[in-house]
Amino acid sequence: MNAITVEGLCVKANNRHLVENISFSIEEGSIVAIIGPNGAGKTTLIRAVLGLIPYETGSVLMFGKPFKHNNSHARVGYVPQKIEFDRTFPLTVLELLRFTVPPFYSLPFRDRSGEERINSLLKTVGMQDLINRSIGSLSGGELQRVMIAKAIVNDPHILFLDEPASGVDIEGQERFYDLVRRLNKENGLTVILISHDLNIVYRFADNVLCMNRRLICTGKPAEALTDEVIKSVYGEMMGGYIHSCHEHD
């Protein structure tokens, strides 16, 4: 079954197309990478699919039904590229994760719901010792790991990751993508991942969706990302890079 079906999606801002007539489908349980140069509309596409920004035309279905934020048939987790928040916000890791756990209308300071699940997830992402730390004091890598724990705390069907490991050291990136792969294999989680790192795309993605406002190609990374495609999307400089990724793979 298709986890996501997008048909003819167009997003406009100031009479300019940010995403133009994009159609694709993503199979349940797969990891799909979205690649493209800066300004290609990758984040806009994800935000439109998630209903965070309006789209001009087109349709988005999740598991065959239109996506609504409070639908239980398609729970989604989202790790944005950059989390905009006040660093002095006196919010602990535990309190942040509790935001996501129902019930929403209980007295939050007496709320013990989901505590076991939260503890186990923080252990999975290696953050169990930082449960009472203020989120503003976390490093980029620590925050990303907390955000992925937060994104999966409610057992989502689909996980959207927008350059989730940007600003994270190499070791942290490895741990992060290993975790994503493990969740995909063990829980059948569908993962949609935006990444600039072709190496990561080759190693972790089942399929790739290459775009530059329009869809350029789609398919398995080794087949879809030809030298010509990479050159046309990223320019001449990236032509040789593709071979090193193949070799690494």
Question: Where do contacts with another protein occur on this chain (CB under 8 A)?
Answer: 47, 50-52, 69-71, 76, 78, 80, 83-86, 88-92, 95-96, 98-100, 104-109, 111, 132, 134, 150, 154
CB of 147 to another protein, least distance (A): 9
Q: Which is nearer to another protein, 145 or 210 (CB)?
A: 145
Distances (CA, A) of 140 to 83, 111, 165, 218: 10, 28, 9, 31
Closest distance to another protein from the beta carbon of 247 (Å): 39
**Closer of 72 and 186 to another protein (Cβ):** 72
- Single-letter amino acid code for the residue at 154: N
CB of 52 to another protein, least distance (A): 5
Distance in Å, CB of 230 to another protein, minimum: 31
- Identify the three-state secondary structure at position 92: strand
Which amino acid is residue 222, in one-letter code?
A: A
Helix, strand, coil % (nearest 5) of the chain? 35, 25, 35
Residue 154 or 187: the one with the smaller Cβ distance to another protein is 154
Q: Nearer to another protein by C-beta: 109 or 247?
A: 109
CA pair distance 44, 23, nearest whole angstrom: 14
CB of 249 to another protein, least distance (A): 33
User: Which residues have CB under 8 Å from 45's CB, separation 6+?
Assistant: 9, 11, 19, 22, 34, 211
What is the rounded distance in angstroms from the CA atom of residue 178 to the CA atom of residue 184? 10
CB closer to another protein, 194 vs 225: 194
